[in-house]
């Protein structure tokens, strides 16, 4: 885990301001098609989780606007499963009680519009927004571990690339891979930065109004 300095956080805030300014301009330009809504799975360097999202394609087909809420369960690198011969079951040791809730908005850019005739569309993705971190105790029952939660809020983001596979019935499957920024204000479970690679798989559908 990297040490995320105050200078890096300041640079990130400036980049986020520029990003959201461009996003607001894009919202005021042109028309958008009906939105897709869906859910998906995240598998990352620091953990795994799931998300719900919405995607609104621009009628030019060159880009779309996206919003997502993610639940990300952070895993300790030393976490492992052991067999308990007394109960005849397995249990986890060395785990942490750390959850992140990124709320990101962003855009997909499709550079090959009208150049690929098949039912898939490669894209470049960028996301940014707020990152809520919930840190519980490491021992005790579920209720005890999450009774007194330490919370913090920072800015985070994601940059990567993926492909939209257009299926039958207004459905798309969109695998994506890239790098996510998950910095913290101060250490939580031994680290103040959980950034790393992320595999992001979305299942979306357009619903008729």
Q: What is the pLDDT of residues 65-100, one digit of tens each?
A: 899 999 999 887 665 555 566 666 655 555 677 899
What's residue 114's pLDDT? 80
pLDDT at 1: 44
pLDDT < 70 positions in the chain = 1-30, 77-95, 208-209
Q: What is the reported pLDDT for 117?
A: 72
pLDDT at residue 136, rounded to an integer: 83
Q: Is residue 74 assigned to a domain?
A: no
- Please check whether residue 131 lies inside any domain of the structure: yes
* CA distances in angstroms from 25 to 18, 30, 58, 140, listed in the order given: 11, 10, 13, 49
Helix (H) or strand (E) segment spanning residue 173: strand 171-181
Is residue 106 within 8 Å of residue 126, measured between CB atoms? Answer: yes
- Count of domains observed in the chain: 1
pLDDT at 74: 87
Q: What dihedral do alpha carbons 120, 122, 128, 132 form, nearest 10°?
A: 50
Instruction: Tell me, rounded to whole angstroms, the distance of Cα 183 from its chain centroid.
Output: 13
Residue 160, domain extent? 6-68+93-206
Interior angle at CA 110, CA 109 and CA 112, nearest 5: 150
Asked whether residue 37 is assigned to any structural domain, the reply reads yes
């Amino acid at each position: 885990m990297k040490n995320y300095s105050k200078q890096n956080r300041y640079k990130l805030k400036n980049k986020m301001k520029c990003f959201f300014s461009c996003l607001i301009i894009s919202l005021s330009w042109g028309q958008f098609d009906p939105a897709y809504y869906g859910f998906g799975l995240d598998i990352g360097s620091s953990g795994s989780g799931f998300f719900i999202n919405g995607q609104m394609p621009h009628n030019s087909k060159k880009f779309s606007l996206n919003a997502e809420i993610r639940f990300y369960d952070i895993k300790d690198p030393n976490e492992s499963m052991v067999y308990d011969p007394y109960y005849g079951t397995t249990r986890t040791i060395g785990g942490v009680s750390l959850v992140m809730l990124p709320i990101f908005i962003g855009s997909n850019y499709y550079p090959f519009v009208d150049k690929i005739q098949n039912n898939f569309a490669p894209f470049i993705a960028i996301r940014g927004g707020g990152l809520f971190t919930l840190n519980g105790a490491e021992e005790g029952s579920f209720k005890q571990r999450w009774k007194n939660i330490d919370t913090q809020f920072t800015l985070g983001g994601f940059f990567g690339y993926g492909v939209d596979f257009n299926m039958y019935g207004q459905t798309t499957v969109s695998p994506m891979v890239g790098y996510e920024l998950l910095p913290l204000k101060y250490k939580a479970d031994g680290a103040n930065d959980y950034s790393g690679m992320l595999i992001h798989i979305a299942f979306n559908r357009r619903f008729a109004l």
